[in-house]
Structure 1
Amino acid sequence: MEQPKREKPYQKPTGPRRGLVLVYTGEGKGKTTAALGLVLRAVGRGYRARVFQFMKHERAAFGEHRALEQLGVEIEGLGDGFSWKSKDLEKSAALAYQGWQKARAALFSDYFLVVWDEISYPLRYGWIPLEEVLEALRQKPQGVHVVLTGRGMPQEILELADTVSEVRKLKHAFDAGIPAQRGIEH
């Protein structure tokens, strides 16, 4: 008996390939992890990637920093830690804006993938002008992919992005009084 012909579950896109703007946002855990997964995928294919973390300080040495350095991926903390612990918010704002200058420049360099991790926070605090970020994304080179992460990503960025994923929290160990775990959260 002849099998019935199956239809494809999707139509293959016919548009040109180009660099994408990808956003991971939401209240759940895993936004940075998803972005770093793309870094691993790109590096595994022989492409260059660069990671900027707006809330981590320049001396941060979490697990992801150690692993990416072993792979030859540049990862840079641009801030002074968690903003809610800052003793000098003007300094925090200045660090974020200086870091933004580096992160924007990398977009116009020779990287295949650039990650702006936790950029939503300095945007929400007004430390980085939203219009500057939008303009950089509009002007980015055709073949460069950029990933933006963080809770509460501004609507204008969500609208400009090619792909937006929302990470939703259903349950988190922290809420049950379990502290952050080395190798899981840092």
Structure 2
Amino acid sequence: MEPITPQADQEAAQLDDEATRSGLSDEQYRRKMQRRKAVQEQRLSQRIDKKGLIIVNTGTGKGKTTAALGMVLRSLGHGYRVAIVQFIKGAWEPAEKAAFAPWTLGQNNQPPQLEFHAMGEGFTWETQDKARDIQKAEEAWQKSLSFIRNPDFQLILLDEVNIAIKLGYLEVVDILAGLAEKPDDSHVILTGRGAPPELIEAADLVTEMTLIKHPFREQGVKAQPGIEF
């Protein structure tokens, strides 16, 4: 593998920008795309083929869990075994659990491809019992560890675990120690706003969802089936 050089990445971005400009002849565009292909091949030669990732979806905007569920669906499509553990959520039956139900059934004496555990009891203003919330978060974390340590699972989604850390129900040092136990080729996704800096530093892929507009805030529209739950 060639060493990674920023020049190739910079040239790729420049060529992408130039290709969108008006006034290019067909021949000029073709030459730029030929060069763009060569640069892309150079960039790929500088990358490793595979690595188990720690992925964090955080921020105040909507879509953190939704994006993670997309990765779950892709992984199931590849035939991987997947585990979902939902923190905080659990007082209601999430629609995604119903949608994923066919994958939670084992066939021909084989274990199910998907394990789905919604282990919370709702938002803090609904539960109104901090001690029990901490207990449920710890139970969810212990369940998560059983999947993180299991080499049979290629993807583990810890949904809203960042909220549990932010609220002080779980310690980030314990989360990092648990993530260090995962097999080299497995992926772990951690969602929820307020991801701590230590987790962001340890992660391989971090996406921050930014709130620009939301119908609840601007229009007074309540959460709707299929959109929020």
Structure-2-length-normalised TM-score? 0.76
1:109-168 residue CA offsets vs partner (Å, 9 max, x unmatched): 111100000001111122112111111112211111000000010010101100001111
Q: Among residues 201, 204, 207, which one is paired with 1:159 in the alignment?
A: 201
Matched, 1:76 2:117: yes
Matched, 1:7 2:36: yes
| Paired position in structure 1 for 2:171 | 129
Following the alignment from structure 2 to structure 1, what is the Cα–Cα distance between the partners of residues 35 and 170?
A: 51
1:41-91 residue CA offsets vs partner (Å, 9 max, x unmatched): 00001111111110112x632210101112322221121111232221101
Aligned residue pair count: 185
| Paired position in structure 1 for 2:155 | 113
- Give the letter for the 2:135 counterpart: A
Following the alignment from structure 1 to structure 2, what is the Cα–Cα distance between the partners of residues 64 and 162?
A: 26
Q: Secondary structure at the match of 1:42?
A: helix
Following the alignment from structure 2 to structure 1, what is the Cα–Cα distance between the partners of residues 175 and 189?
A: 12
Following the alignment from structure 1 to structure 2, what is the Cα–Cα distance between the partners of residues 158 and 168?
A: 16
Q: Is the 8 A contact 1:120 1:151 kept in 2?
A: yes
Q: Secondary structure at the match of 1:84?
A: helix
Following the alignment from structure 1 to structure 2, what is the Cα–Cα distance between the partners of residues 14 and 180?
A: 42
RMSD across aligned positions (CA): 1.7
Q: Is the 8 A contact 1:68 1:74 kept in 2?
A: no
Following the alignment from structure 2 to structure 1, what is the Cα–Cα distance between the partners of residues 153 and 92?
A: 22
Q: Describe how 1:1-186 pairs up with structure 2 within 5 A.
A: 4=31, 5-8=34-37, 10=40, 11-12=43-44, 13-57=46-90, 60-72=92-104, 73-109=114-150, 110-175=152-217, 176-186=219-229
Matched-pair identity in %: 38
- Give the letter for the 1:113 counterpart: L
Structure 1: any 5+ residue segments left out of the alignment?
Answer: none
- Give the letter for the 1:112 counterpart: Q
Q: Secondary structure at the match of 2:198?
A: helix
Radius of gyration: which is bigger?
2
Query: Greater relative contact order: 1 or 2 (C-alpha under 8 angstroms, separation 6 or more)?
Result: 1
Q: Secondary structure at the match of 1:55?
A: coil
